[in-house]
């Protein structure tokens, strides 16, 4: 199901906010997305951009992914794990919606690329999925924020040693790259995953839901046919300053010299919908956090029965997790803490709870900490660990991974304690 069909379904269920008043992509769009964070929004009247619409928030809820893939929220982890374990080669079609309009005379200023914050380095594409081909590992899909610096130029944030950066390093004349915007939820989710090298994220997407592909107009790349907009071009070896721009943490990321993406052709639908991902908004958080849950789940499951993992949004959907287990022995919760850190190396704080605690409810997690946890007995501190570079409080060491102190909280009922005293009184039991 393409993004616009998905958005139409949200509309049919009265879940879509239509914004019909004139709104400028410069700051105004971002302000309104932030006001509606968590809700799907469609901007239908963009000042200066007739013919364009702009969507946000259509993957701001976990349920959106479930709906797109056809599963419950609880089944998401197993669906993602299965798709990585059994990727399915996507079909190729010859005529695609994303190529209804083909523009050789590139002018990015005709696209409603938002400016999010006055301190930003410029207008930013935030929901663009870059499709590239690596001669050793094959096709790779990944997100790269792109700052517009000219009519046909953007500068990308290309994190070192990941798929795009590695492939780019193997080229002399620039890496052919197609940036696809306005993608279906399941393709966005697959692109946000980090399967083992050599696993094609498009095949992961097709294992989640049908994902037709089409040959790009000017590049030797097969791309998602259902995109709304595609920028074809080359990731050059020319560098420019990228940033500042807000990070996932909601704090400002600084500037770096990064590769310039030279756009040579634009293709889009006749009435295109631009997708804008608010930095540190719930869409951004979902895409970052949800793909880490299966990797934590897999590690914890190696040592104890794991019944759920939740990367929590208040922990930036990156630094905090709650893990639900059925302990079988006195050390299981502590071993689950260590396993969770192995499953997501950027994780900083983790809380382990029993199955009667709802890991999707922050109040329930805090209740477990309040009533089952003693710091001298149940707190695990791991000093000087490799950490996320996104954490402003981590120790940054130039040229190396940042370092942090990690903390695990065992908020399970103490082993062999009389359980009755720890169970929550329920008022929902029907009376006789
Ligand atoms: C919403 C979102 C935004 C991201 N932005 C960037 C970015 O600007 N630059 C970057 O290098 N990686 C970014 N990432 C991470 C890449 O997508 C990540 O490198 C990729 O999933 C890793 O897989 P790979 O090694 O197969 O490329 C982002 C991820 C998400 C989910």
Q: Which atom of ligand 1 is nearest to the CA of 287?
A: 31
Q: In what order do the strands lie in the sheet with 17-19?
A: 17-19, 41-43, 53-56, 273-275
189 in contact with ligand 1, CB cutoff 6 A = no
Task: Name the closest-CA residue to atom 26, ligand 1.
Answer: 163
Which is the catalytic residue, given 37, 134, 200, 247? 247
How many Cβ atoms are within 10 Å of 212's Cβ, its own excluded?
16
346 in contact with ligand 1, CB cutoff 6 A = no
Burial 167-194 (b: 16+ CB within 10 A, else e): bbeebeebbbbbbbbbbbbbbbbbbbbe
Pick among 1.10.1060.10, 1.10.260.40, 2.30.110.10, 3.30.390.10: CATH of 3-270: 2.30.110.10
Q: pLDDT tens track of the chain, all 432 residues?
A: 999 999 999 999 999 999 999 999 999 999 999 999 999 999 999 999 999 999 999 999 999 999 999 999 999 999 999 999 999 999 999 999 999 999 999 999 999 999 999 999 999 999 999 999 999 999 999 999 999 999 999 999 999 989 999 999 999 999 999 999 999 999 999 999 999 999 999 999 999 999 999 999 999 999 999 999 999 999 999 999 999 999 999 999 999 999 999 999 999 999 999 999 999 999 999 999 999 999 999 999 999 999 999 999 999 999 999 999 999 999 999 999 999 999 999 999 999 999 999 999 999 999 999 999 999 999 999 999 999 989 999 998 887 889 999 999 999 999 989 999 999 998 986 665
Please say if 247 is a catalytic residue.
yes
| pLDDT number for residue 291 | 97
Domain boundaries 292-416, corresponding CATH code: 3.40.1670.10
Residue in this structure with the two tokens 């081909």, named with its chain if needed: 133
Strand ranges in 117-187 using DSSP code E only, listed in sequence order: 124-125, 129-134, 138-143, 146-148, 153-156, 175-181
| pLDDT number for residue 430 | 67
| pLDDT number for residue 400 | 84
For ligand 1, pick from 87, 159, 277 the residue to mutate: most ligand atoms within 8 Å of CB.
Answer: 159
| pLDDT number for residue 232 | 98
Distance 290 CA to ligand 1 centre (A): 13
For residues 295 and 126, give the distance between their C-alpha atoms in angstroms, rounded to a whole number. 25
For residues 415 and 376, give the distance between their C-alpha atoms in angstroms, rounded to a whole number. 15
User: Domains of the chain: which residue ranges?
Assistant: 3-270, 292-416
For residues 97 and 105, give the distance between their C-alpha atoms in angstroms, rounded to a whole number. 20
């Amino acid at each position: 199901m393409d993004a616009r069909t998905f958005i139409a379904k949200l509309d049919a269920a009265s879940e879509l906010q239509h914004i019909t008043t004139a709104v400028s992509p410069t700051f105004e769009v971002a302000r309104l997305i932030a006001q509606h964070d968590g809700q799907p929004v469609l901007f239908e009247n963009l000042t200066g951009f007739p013919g364009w619409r702009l969507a946000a928030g259509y993957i701001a809820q976990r349920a959106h992914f479930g709906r797109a893939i056809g599963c419950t929220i609880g089944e998401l982890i197993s669906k993602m794990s299965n798709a990585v374990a059994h990727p399915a080669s996507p079909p190729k079609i010859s005529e695609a919606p994303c190529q209804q309009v083909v523009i050789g005379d590139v002018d990015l200023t005709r696209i409603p690329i938002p400016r999010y914050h006055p301190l930003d380095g410029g207008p930013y594409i935030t929901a663009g999925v870059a499709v590239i081909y690596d001669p050793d590992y094959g096709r790779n899909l990944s997100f790269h924020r792109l700052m517009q610096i000219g009519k046909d130029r953007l500068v990308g944030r290309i994190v070192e040693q990941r798929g795009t950066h590695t492939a780019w390093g193997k080229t002399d004349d620039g890496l052919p790259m197609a940036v696809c915007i306005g993608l279906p939820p399941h393709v966005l989710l697959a692109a946000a995953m980090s399967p083992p090298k050599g696993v094609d994220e498009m095949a992961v997407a097709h294992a989640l839901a049908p994902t037709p592909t089409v040959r790009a107009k000017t590049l030797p790349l097969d791309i998602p046919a259902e995109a709304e907009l595609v920028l074809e071009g080359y990731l050059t070896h020319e560098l420019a300053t990228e940033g500042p721009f807000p990070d996932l943490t909601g704090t400002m990321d600084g500037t770096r010299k990064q590769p310039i993406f030279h756009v040579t052709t634009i293709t889009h639908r006749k009435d295109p919908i631009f997708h804008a991902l608010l930095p540190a908004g719930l869409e951004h958080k979902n895409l970052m956090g949800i793909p880490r849950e299966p990797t934590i789940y897999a590690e914890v499951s190696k040592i104890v029965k794991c019944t759920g993992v939740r990367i929590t949004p208040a922990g930036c959907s990156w630094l905090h997790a709650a893990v639900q287990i059925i302990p079988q022995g006195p050390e299981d919760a502590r071993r689950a803490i260590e396993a969770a850190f192995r499953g997501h190396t950027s994780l900083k704080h983790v809380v382990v709870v029993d199955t009667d605690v709802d890991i999707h409810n922050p109040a329930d997690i805090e209740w477990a900490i309040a009533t089952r946890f003693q710091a001298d007995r149940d707190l695990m501190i791991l000093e000087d660990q490799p950490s996320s570079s996104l954490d402003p409080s981590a120790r940054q060491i130039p040229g190396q991974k940042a370092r942090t102190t990690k903390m695990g909280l065992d908020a399970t009922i103490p082993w062999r304690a009389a359980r009755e005293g720890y169970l929550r009184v329920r008022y929902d039991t029907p009376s006789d």
